[in-house]
Chains A and B, each alone.
Chain A
Amino acid sequence: MIYRNKINKTNLNSPFRGLGGSFIINIERSMLTSEGNRLLKVDLEIANNELLCLFGHSGAGKTTLLRILAGLFTPDRGFISFKGEVWYDSAKKINLPPQQRNVGFVFQDYALFPNMTVRCNIEFAQKIRNADEVDSLLSHFGLEALQKQYPAKLSGGQKQRVALARALAAKPNLLLLDEPLSALDYEMRLNLQDEILKAHKLLNSQTLLVSHDKEEVLKLADTVVMLRNGVVINQGKPNDIFL
């Protein structure tokens, strides 16, 4: 459930801000789109264990927001806290680097390391080496037979499953998925939507998924946030928004 405008001037200045169990985002960042400069302005609170879809056309600011949450972009100003830990606070000059946010990020191009096998990609993500956990992830995503293959030999769907398994191997607090199905054909998308749900359940925490596919959002999301030109124009249950 999202509580729109729950963060306001008053509670932004409160010493207790960000101490709840939820994910609080209140940021601004100027971004350059094909239609010129836009201001991304987002104010959200995301409840525990929710799968939230950021929905909107290209240039709406979905990927920019996801990258800000991962620490890959810095907002111009604002505040981000996750389960009580402040990740970014422009007023206090706090900005945790991506390494300290413990976020699982699945990139649009999957970003699998070409020099590592499927198994090595997953092992690389582990903070403490644990072969049993790697085996378990390989089994969960049906990758046992591919574990010695290099990414160049994999299909798009297989790469996506490896990327999901790798993101979970780091035991992240939060899973961020940047249009992970956009490069796949329709049938493959349907199959892999189940894999995303599986990953979300394994994670047992918040998942944010960027998508511009209504069907996908209806199937996967607990809640949907619609972005247009950098601002939230609608949010709620997918059925309420789309049907």
Chain B
Amino acid sequence: MNSDFINTLLLTGKLAGWTTAILFVIGLPIAYLLAYKRFWFKSLVEALISMPMVLPPTVLGFYMLVAYSPKHAFGGFFEKYFDTRLAFSFEGVLLASLVFSLPFMIQPLQNGLVAIPRSLREASYTLGKSEFTTFIKVLIPNMIPSIVTALAMTFAHCIGEFGVVIMVGGNMPGETRVASIAIYDEVQAMNYDVANQYSLVLFIISLVILTVIYSINGKSAPSAAP
């Protein structure tokens, strides 16, 4: 295998890994708010988070590319304060990936929280524990299958991203050329062997991730009830 092939796969893993890690940290509190709190614009927030599931990736990619332009406030802010140009850079692809993968992290976490019997939270509160302690010591340990699903789905979805990446990142080796872009590129160049190698790796990773999810959820199902 040549170094381009390895670098492309490493870049794909780097993008998916960072996206998953960052989304887990910001996804937990968002999922908590959506699962347990009431506020008047909650439906709008839920709709916005779910938009990437129904919106063509090119639409999202287009708007993000426009926003990344240094002529606009968002892109200008990044260039001025972080000396970073987001368009056609890894940081720009990562940011777009965070937005595009948000529902794949939030929804399993939110569903996991909603599925925990309310009495567990209430028992913890009556025992004097704060919402934060309850979240860390009672809720999170009792939603492990949902957390695994959220992490795995986000990672797997990220690995397969194409539309958003091509729109905001293009096809720059070592910077924005992830495996899904490389497959398209190799097919265009009639390099079917290389395209097949990339495809096989993505196929196997996705299969392994989904098998792990089903296996964990299947094992946890009988003992899920308290």
Could you mark each residue 99-137 of chain A with 1 if its beta carbon is under 8 Å from any beta carbon of chain B, else 0?
A: 111111101111111110000000011010000000000
Contact B126 A152 (CB under 8 A): no
Residue in chain A with minimal CB distance to B128: A99
Contact B125 A113 (CB under 8 A): no
Residue in chain A with minimal CB distance to B131: A99
Contact B125 A99 (CB under 8 A): yes
CB distance from A98 to the nearest CB of B (A): 4
* From B119, B129, B137, B141, contact of A107 by CB (8 A): B119
Contact B128 A114 (CB under 8 A): no
Question: How many CB-defined contacts (below 8 Å) exist between A and B?
Answer: 68
Contact B126 A109 (CB under 8 A): no
In the complex, B223 has a CB within 8 A of chain A: yes
Contact A97 B125 (CB under 8 A): yes
Query: For the complex, what is the distance from the CA of A166 to the CA of B130, rounded to whole Å?
Result: 17
In the complex, B117 has a CB within 8 A of chain A: yes
In the complex, A56 has a CB within 8 A of chain B: no
* From A105, A112, A114, contact of B126 by CB (8 A): A105
Contact flag A107-B128 (CB < 8 Å), given A112-B226, A114-B223, A115-B142:
no
* From B119, B125, B130, B142, contact of A109 by CB (8 A): B119
Contact B128 A102 (CB under 8 A): yes
Interface centre among B127, B129, B138, B142 (most CB of A within 10 A): B127
Residues of A whose CB lies within 8 Å of any CB of B are 70-72, 97-105, 107-115, 124-125, 127, 151-152, 166, 170
Between A and B, 14 residue pairs with Cβ closer than 8 Å are: A70-B126, A72-B125, A99-B128, A99-B130, A100-B128, A107-B119, A111-B123, A113-B138, A113-B226, A114-B226, A115-B138, A115-B142, A152-B226, A166-B127
